[in-house]
Chains A and B, each alone.
Chain A
Amino acid sequence: MVSIRSIPSTPSSLTPGDLPWIIEHREDRCTLCGRCTAVCPVYAIKLTYMRQRMPRLVLTSNERGSAFRTFVGIRQKTEIANKCIGCGTCAMVCPNSAIRPVANPMADRFRFQSTVGGEPVKRGGRRNDPAPGLLDKIIFNRISMLTDPALDAGRHEFFLNTLLGRVLSPEEYIRRKMAGEWIPPVREIFPFIIGSMSFGALSPNMWLGLLQGVAYCNEVLGIPVVMATGEGGCPPWVLKSPFLKYIILQIASGYFGWDEIIRAIPDMQCDPAAIEIKYGQGAKPGDGGLLMWFKVSKLIARLRGVPEGVDLPSPPVHQTLYSIEESVMKMIQTMSMAWNFRVPVYPKISGSNSAKSVLNNLVRNPYASGLLIDGIDGGTGAAYNVSMDTMGHPIASNVRDCYLDLCAQGKQNEIPIFAAGGVGKTGNVTQNGMALIMLGASGVHMGKYMMQAAAGCLGSEQNRCNVCNIGICPKGITSQNPKLYRRLDPDQVAQRVVDTFMAIRTEMKKIMAPLGRSQSLPIGMSDAIGISDESAANRLNIKYVC
């Protein structure tokens, strides 16, 4: 046995086989073009000189017994900071299919060393829970094709839109109409909404692509899609453009971007779709937003009114927040007033056991326009691992409880509940969304799904990629570095946005037609859904089917 010292071993020494992703490199195919190493966002691979011994049979005594060959090859780094994230960008650029990341089939040792430096792991993206979600298991089983003339998804007309805004009770509506009083603003929108992703978190090309796609859906296809900004405002040209009506502006605890927005109000050509007040987020309940310094570019700094290149953490709570009543009342009313009560204002909260108490508070606030609940499977640009993976509440039962609570009060038409957090996590976006709608949601927000569908985000629940927080997004989706975001063509993103919404629209009809529904969105149509998990069925108050 050799002496201890001669083995370079520290507690944190790792080998490639200890990492979550292992690079498989085929030297026989590699032409050493160097593209993979140039493109790797975390410098996980290196071109390196290596020496190989070539044993030979020695016949003469003045020759040595072995010769050595020197060659250039590719090797995976094992330093913590350079661990491969499995993004596969190397495989994408390799002309000879010589390299690819492979998920480590064993439990990696990296996870025990990831805290080197004393800082817990932070990342962007999503919760690492690859299991199919509960929503995927919900099926639509109230088929009415035989009891009546059947609907034809391809031929009949379908009403797929939902309402965003405070809806009065019929009695109160008629009374106010008679008296000429204020009627709260209501928007008729497509029930699948592009969830809040901030202009700082997303690259300008991504943002532009999304907006272009949304505008096309509205203006050419007649699908009234809206998209929400995260915290951090909105580019000034958008604020003053007619596209603002497709945008839900978010205000969060840092109030970033709001100077710019308020100053633009006199120049606005139209009102925004709505104002979202973020009190919490599904992916990281209890944490405010965090825009890391890498992403605070010149433009972002200007929009947010801060110096360039500094970390921008938002406080975990609104500084004005003393109680729900006070905060909700103050903020909702202030924001409503800013647009002269013409724009719906609603809060967004993290999924939680306490969601009902917020909801009940909103019911009594005449200006509250809805409630968005973001479940544990929601995504984010940056958060601690522990928050993302373990904090929060799954969305299905949270929405269901809130809906049934509203039903008991007869208020389910007055305060729309929107659901978010894991919608389309496994790709079944329409099915997931419609399941939530039948559980009682008026619509759903989807963020990660849009990034994956519209821009080819590489992230997955197997902790693939998920480096959105540090500005090195290999697809150019969540980076402010022009070298990276130029990889993303806004036109192509727009095209994919349109493809996505056209497909969702068709699938919605394919779900609604056999259920005999076409005249209105089947919100709360819980008799139409079933699940083969008895405890989930009991919990959600839907049918158990087997």
Chain B
Amino acid sequence: MCRLALKTASEPFSPFTVLQAMEAMQEGYDGSGLGLLLRGLQFTDYSYKPGDPVFSGIAHTEDALFRLHAFMQNRGFGLKYDHEYEVNFSKIEAKDRHKYILRVYNKPVAWANLSEEEVEYQMMLIRLALRKDGDDHGGDLTVFSFWPDVAMIKEVGWPLGVGEALGLDSHRIKSRICMAQGRQNTNWGINLYACHPFFIQGIATMTNGENTAFIPIKDWLTGKGFPAYVGYQSDSEVFAHILHYVVKQLKLPLEAYKHIITPLKSEELKVHPQGDFLLGLRDACRRLIIDGPNAVIGTLPDETCLLVMDAKKMRPATIGGKPGEWAIASEMCGVDAMIPDRDQSLDFQPMRQHTVIVPPDRQEFKIWSQFDQFHLPQAA
């Protein structure tokens, strides 16, 4: 089973503290791996300029590292910072890791005239091209993300052990958001790409539980022909892609995500203030209805965090914290470990109709019920 932990705070913190929280939930996972996503980066030895794209991945050979370098150079990216993890390779289970990469680049000059949307599209294509390059070379380059202000690490092993092996305990990297997951892949064999969180154009999600509607959803997303709707080494990857589809392609507000993955029943929609629109939306997005017990935790480029429950509330998840600092975890003890000094009575466990949203100001979290109206700028 997977265990999830997310912490978001106005003051950057070390991801190691989140890994310690994962330890509190250790009965629940098999230690088959760790996935980390950091957003809102701060380095002790480098002053990061917001907007610069950050590449995260693993080069398994020197050749892969060289190709990456050449690839980026050819496309006009200037290397600004190359983070050196203090790796203790003896503590890493896998033996084919050459270098854990976290590099900050300058955008190519040629991009200066592109719109924001076009830049985002180009960054995505770069990530996909590098991933394909790795795949074409026997998987010698693993690519997690290429996006401003986001760093990702995925590795096999116990989360705390992996954190120590990568030297995260020296607290040289900090971030305002940290998503962590102790992985067990429900559908497929062990593969770094199958590890949560999943990332697409700045949007990331992680999930516990199996998504039994995976194949029909995957078939539909694949049929969209969007270049980044690929991969699907894990059934949970579609949660990230659906969120991307809702927010970036359909340009609907965040609340619509819940209505698309777990729509209300027809009887419920008949009495919903936006029932007419939502009923049609449900039909149009029918192949995106998830199934299975899932709690989806996600983050967006503007540092909004969200937690969405499955339609039957079959999975646990808790949010707790205090203004400026919030934690979401699949187990209550995870929240305790991340933010011990909070008022526990204000913790909240969302029910089947809920989406919990922590806005970027982190002053309070918003509980939105699917039965309530939400703001639909274009379509209402």
Listed in ascending order, the chain A residues whose CB lies under 8 Å from chain B are 142, 144, 147-149, 156-157, 159, 163, 167-174, 177-178, 183, 186, 188, 407-413, 515-520, 522-528
Known contacts A159-B265, A408-B223, A527-B214, A148 near B379 by CB under 8 Å: no
Residue B312 interfacial (CB < 8 Å): yes
Complex interface: chain B residues within 8 A of A168 (CB)? 280, 284
Q: Find out whether the CB atom of A522 lies under 8 angstroms from the CB atom of B284.
A: no
What residue in chain B is nearest A442 (Cβ atoms)? B286
Interface flag for B99 (CB, 8 Å): no
Interface of chain B residues 267 through 308 with chain A (CB within 8 A): 277, 280-281, 283-287, 289-293
Residue B219 interfacial (CB < 8 Å): yes
The residues of A that contact B213 with a CB separation of less than 8 Å are: 517, 519-520, 522, 525
CA distance A525 to B219 in the complex (A): 10
Q: B224 at interface (Cβ–Cβ under 8 A)?
A: yes
> Which of A163, A174, A410, A515 sits near B224, CB closer than 8 Å?
A410
What is the minimal beta-carbon distance from A410 to any residue of chain B, in angstroms? Answer: 3
- How close is B291's CB to chain A, nearest CB, in angstroms? 4
The answer on a CB contact under 8 Å between A156 and B379 is: no
Expressed in whole angstroms, the Cα–Cα distance for A178 and B277 within the complex equals 10
Q: Which 8 A-B pairs have the closest CB atoms?
A: A410-B223, A516-B212, A173-B284, A520-B289, A527-B215, A170-B284, A519-B291, A524-B216
In-complex Cβ contact of A517 among B291, B314, B379 (8 A)? B291
**A519 contacts B289, CB within 8 Å?**
yes
The residue among B215, B266, B277 with the most chain A CB atoms within 10 A of its own CB is B215
CA distance in complex: A408, B225 (Å): 9
Chain B residue contacts of A519, Cβ below 8 A:
213, 262, 289-291, 311
* Contact yes or no, B292 A171, CB < 8 A: no
- Identity of the chain B residue whose Cβ is nearest the Cβ of A414 in the assembled complex: B284
Q: Which residues 233-276 of B have a CB within 8 angstroms of A?
A: 245, 249-250, 252, 262, 265-266
Apart from the given pairs A172-B284, A520-B291, A525-B216, 10 other A-B contacts in the complex at a CB distance below 8 Å? A144-B210, A148-B210, A149-B314, A157-B312, A171-B249, A407-B220, A407-B223, A410-B224, A413-B220, A520-B213
Contact A412 B284 (CB under 8 A): no
| Distance, CA A169 to CA B249, complexed state (A) | 12
Name the contact of B250 in the complex, choosing from A171, A520, A525 (C-beta under 8 A). Answer: A171
Given A148-B293, A173-B281, A525:B215 Cβ within 8 A: yes
Tell which of B252, B277, B284 touches A169, judged by Cβ atoms closer than 8 Å. B284
In this complex, which of A157, A167, A177 has the most chain B Cβ atoms within 10 angstroms of its Cβ? A177
Answer whether residue B209 sits at the interface, using C-beta atoms and an 8 A cutoff.
Answer: yes
Chain B residue at minimum C-beta to C-beta distance from A161: B266
Q: Tell whether B186 is near chain A: CB-to-CB under 8 Å.
A: yes
| B215 engages A520 (CB within 8 Å) | no
Chain A residue nearest to B246 in the complex (CB)? A170
Which chain A residue has the least Cβ–Cβ distance from B378?
A178
Q: Closest residue of chain B to A169, judged by CB?
A: B284
Distance, CA A440 to CA B79, complexed state (A): 49
* Residues A144 and B220 in contact in the complex (CB < 8 Å), given A163-B283, A177-B280, A178-B379: no
Contact B223 A177 (CB under 8 A): no
Task: For residue B245, give the distance in angstroms from its CB to the closest CB of chain A.
Answer: 8
Chain B, Cβ-Cβ closest to A521: B286
Residues 193 to 223 of chain B near chain A (Cβ within 8 Å): 209-210, 212-216, 219-220, 222-223
* Chain A to chain B contacts (Cβ below 8 Å), 10 pairs: A149-B293, A170-B250, A170-B281, A172-B284, A174-B250, A174-B378, A410-B220, A410-B223, A516-B292, A520-B213
Contact of A174 (CB < 8 Å), options: B245, B265, B293, B379: B379
Q: How far is the CA of A174 from the CA of B287 in the complex (A)?
A: 16
What's the Cα separation between A517 and B311 when bound, in Å? 12
A442–chain B nearest beta-carbon distance, Å: 10
Q: Inside 8 A of B265's CB, which chain A residues have their CB?
A: 159
> Is the pair A156, B312 in contact by a Cβ cutoff of 8 Å?
yes
User: Within the complex, what minimum Cβ distance (angstroms) separates A166 from chain B?
Assistant: 10
User: Taking A409-B223, A523-B216 as contacts, is the C-beta distance between A177 and B379 under 8 angstroms?
Assistant: yes
In the assembled complex, the Cα of A169 lies from the Cα of B250 at a distance in Å of 11
Q: Which residues of B contact A186 (CB under 8 A)?
A: 283
Interface hits, B16-72 → A, CB 8 Å: none
Known: A148-B293, A177-B277, A525-B213. A412 touches B314 (CB 8 A): no
CB proximity of A167 to chain B, nearest CB, Å: 5
B267's nearest neighbour on chain A, judged by CB, is A222
Measured in the bound complex, the distance between the Cα atoms of B378 and A168 in whole Å is 17
The chain A residue sitting closest to B250, CB to CB, is: A170
Query: Could you tell me which residues of chain B, from 299 to 326, have a CB within 8 Å of some CB in chain A?
Result: 311-312, 314-315
Are A167 and B186 closer than 8 Å at their CB atoms? no
Give complex CA distance A110, B308 in Å.
69
> Is A412 in contact with B287, judged by CB distance below 8 angstroms?
yes
C-alpha spacing A169/B379, complex, angstroms: 15
- Cβ 8 A contact of B219, one of A148, A170, A522, A524: A524
Least CB distance from B213 to A in Å reads 7
Contacts of A173 in B (CB 8 A): 280-281, 283-284
With A519-B311, A522-B213 as contacts: A170 and B285 at CB distance below 8 Å: yes
Chain A hits for B186, CB < 8 A: 147
Contacting pair A520 B286 (CB below 8 A):
yes
CA distance A517 to B293 in the complex (A): 10
**A277 CB → nearest B CB, Å:** 23
Inter-chain contact A163/B286, CB cutoff 8 Å: yes
Residues of chain A within 8 A of B290, CB atoms compared = 519
In angstroms, Cα B280 to Cα A92, docked, is 53
Q: A144-B212, A170-B285, A173-B280 are in contact. Are A518 and B250 (CB under 8 A)?
A: no
**Complex Cα distance A526/B213, Å?**
10
Closest to B288 in A: A170
Interface pair B287/A518, CB less than 8 Å apart: no
Would you call A410 and B312 a contact (CB within 8 A)?
no
| Pairwise interchain contact A517-B223, C-beta atoms closer than 8 A | no
Whole-angstrom distance from the CB of B183 to the nearest CB of chain A? 14
A356–chain B nearest beta-carbon distance, Å: 16
Known interface pairs A149-B293, A149-B314, A516-B212; A413-B284 also in contact (CB < 8 Å): yes
For the complex, give the distance between the alpha carbons of A525 and B311 in Å: 19
State A518–B378 Cα separation when bound (angstroms): 32
Q: Which of A174, A177, A526 contacts B215 (CB 8 A)?
A: A526
- A148-B209, A168-B284, A186-B283 given as contacts; is B291 within 8 A of A518 (CB)? yes
